[in-house]
Structure 1
């Protein structure tokens, strides 16, 4: 090969190496799927949980220079809602933003993420992450194959086809969706008949009359358009016995295969987005009232006296039942009570 030919070949290789297409291919090392049950939108508009998922994906992809890429699957379009937690544990799904209590049948400890009356404010809720209870819960999840990426808490209220439900006496004889085994135990003790289904199925159940009322997050009360089938709403603006841990989680088997710097990046971005989640949750607690008032629904707030009544029932039913399940559950509850 002549010097001229060699130089020409080297120049061609250099040009090829600098090609954007080749660089893109080299950087796109890992494609990750993120699934959730909530309505899809854009990074700038829509259900904040979908927005957070898209913000997370965009920021991680940007900081990793394309080494990590994401596909977002809203509305349970990739798999059914209740299958997502188990799929992450098996490594069949990479990430999901899902109510933690949905996995209570598989990992009983996680039902503490929707324990009636145990968390009554955002300040208390977001203190869990760095408290003993949060560290122990994260450890249990990690042992079960799940990595906590973003701690997301949401306050919630109750939409009703008839009257607002404030006191326990208001729930007597009503068919109500609680959202977790523990919430259902409290509702049963108050005289309600419970209905079990994920939040994305509430609309149809209330529309047909199969269910009369539903507890869910303020964001879901808006995103699933439940005002169209409701005449009453109890909000979380003044506090609530319904606070749900709804984190962004990742499969440990997938996470562990990533280089250390990419693992740290995922956790860093996840932690940064918790401030957005808190702000959005509080905004939705306010917005939900306006949405329901606009269509003529009667909107009320939870009172401190009513909250105490629900807490009293919860302690004797849900808390006791959870604590009796195992030493692990009893320990988690004890640690959580320290945050009250």
Structure 2
């Protein structure tokens, strides 16, 4: 009887430990209305519904870690999962700067092929060196807004005070003859309103949420061609993933597959919504052509790509792999 009681107590204790071991923490920087939170929530909900004793608690709005400070905690296992623009860690791994590089991705279907490419496989090998793996691939896109004219071809920014989203884009725009004004997306509206800024490049969602349509004459939306694509995956600590049961990993994988399809469709929807909002507010719409895209890409080759190629032999190989994805 005594043995049975001890065995029961031990089993209860082991069960408590197991339950604690299957509680994962997921960190990101956005509000609960953002598509990236919705992707995380979908994974958490699907895994919870699978009944595999795995709970994911989401910490949005930088409530666990600051936006740019999440990579190292994930690598160290201090947090289990993050949704994270990988270029934020470009200072740690130069290869990650290719995930926010002008002209590497031309549209969302191309982005989906990029996610499935040898290039992304090499990026994932680098992540694995830091004990990190990708659960959900995803790119979000953006366009241009001009205060007085349309911005579709490189000559459109000559002499214009322009805000770009990312260092590589600043290099490319400067190469096209623009003057660069560095600021956050939240500052674009006032800068356009006061005449400090002639043109801006940012994400579709930021164009809408910051009401840039009130200050723009023309909008270049994401269409068949766009320059700005930023890779923002949901990643997980690999040791944590490997430590789960087969059933838990299977549930995570299934949830991730569903969330990735959702992420792609939502990204396309956000771009379409941005175009509609600008149109409804009387802003001229001018989509980028293939010829214009290639003209920008040629300038990127002499500026941002050239800077990147000045790194290691591995960096050069990675850029070539990215450019080879049709």
TM-score, normalised on structure 2?
0.84
Structure 1 unmatched ranges of 5 or more: 18-22, 42-46
Distance 1:232 1:266, change over 3 A: same
Q: Does 1:31 align with 2:23?
A: yes
Cα RMSD for the two superposed structures: 3.0
**SS class of match (2:230):** strand
Q: Does 1:51 align with 2:38?
A: yes
Structure 2 counterpart of 1:204:
187
- The CA deviation at 1:276 is 1.1
Give every structure 1 segment of 4 or more consecutive aligned residues whose post-TM-superposition deviation is greater than 6 Å: 23-26
Structure 2 counterpart of 1:179:
165
Structure 2 unmatched ranges of 5 or more: none
Q: Does 1:217 align with 2:203?
A: yes
Q: 8 Å contact 2:189–2:211 — kept in the other structure? A: no
Answer with 245-254 or 220-229: which moved more. 220-229
Structure 2 counterpart of 1:240:
226
Q: 8 Å contact 1:218–1:281 — kept in the other structure? A: no
Q: Does 1:329 align with 2:315?
A: yes
Question: How many Å separate the matches in 2 of 1:162 and 1:33?
Answer: 46
Question: How many Å separate the matches in 2 of 1:195 and 1:63?
Answer: 49
Structure 2 counterpart of 1:149:
135
Structure 1 counterpart of 2:72:
86
Q: 8 Å contact 2:106–2:224 — kept in the other structure? A: no
Structure 1 counterpart of 2:99:
113
Distance 1:240 1:189, change over 3 A: same
Q: 8 Å contact 2:185–2:202 — kept in the other structure? A: no
Structure 2 counterpart of 1:20:
none
- The CA deviation at 1:205 is 4.5
Q: 1:62 aligns with which of 40, 49, 57?
A: 49
Answer with 108-117 or 83-92: which moved more. 83-92
- The CA deviation at 1:77 is 3.7
- The CA deviation at 1:219 is 3.1
Distance 1:285 1:268, change over 3 A: same
- The CA deviation at 1:130 is 3.0
Distance 1:335 1:266, change over 3 A: same
Q: 8 Å contact 1:39–1:223 — kept in the other structure? A: no
Structure 2 counterpart of 1:284:
270
Question: How many Å separate the matches in 2 of 1:88 and 1:180?
Answer: 23
- The CA deviation at 1:66 is 4.1
Q: 1:96 aligns with which of 82, 85, 90?
A: 82
Question: How many Å separate the matches in 1 of 2:249 and 2:147?
Answer: 46
- The CA deviation at 1:79 is 3.0
Question: How many Å separate the matches in 2 of 1:310 and 1:119?
Answer: 12
Question: How many Å separate the matches in 2 of 1:84 and 1:161?
Answer: 36
**SS class of match (1:325):** coil
Structure 2 counterpart of 1:320:
306
Q: 8 Å contact 2:136–2:235 — kept in the other structure? A: yes
Question: How many Å separate the matches in 2 of 1:38 and 1:211?
Answer: 26
Question: How many Å separate the matches in 1 of 2:288 and 2:205?
Answer: 17
**SS class of match (1:140):** helix
Q: 8 Å contact 2:102–2:169 — kept in the other structure? A: yes
Which digits, 9 at most, give the CA deviation of each residue in 1:87-136, with x for residues without a partner?
Answer: 32233333222222222112110111122112212232211233211211
Structure 1 counterpart of 2:32:
40
Question: How many Å separate the matches in 2 of 1:283 and 1:187?
Answer: 27
Q: 8 Å contact 2:40–2:58 — kept in the other structure? A: no
Q: 1:71 aligns with which of 32, 48, 58?
A: 58
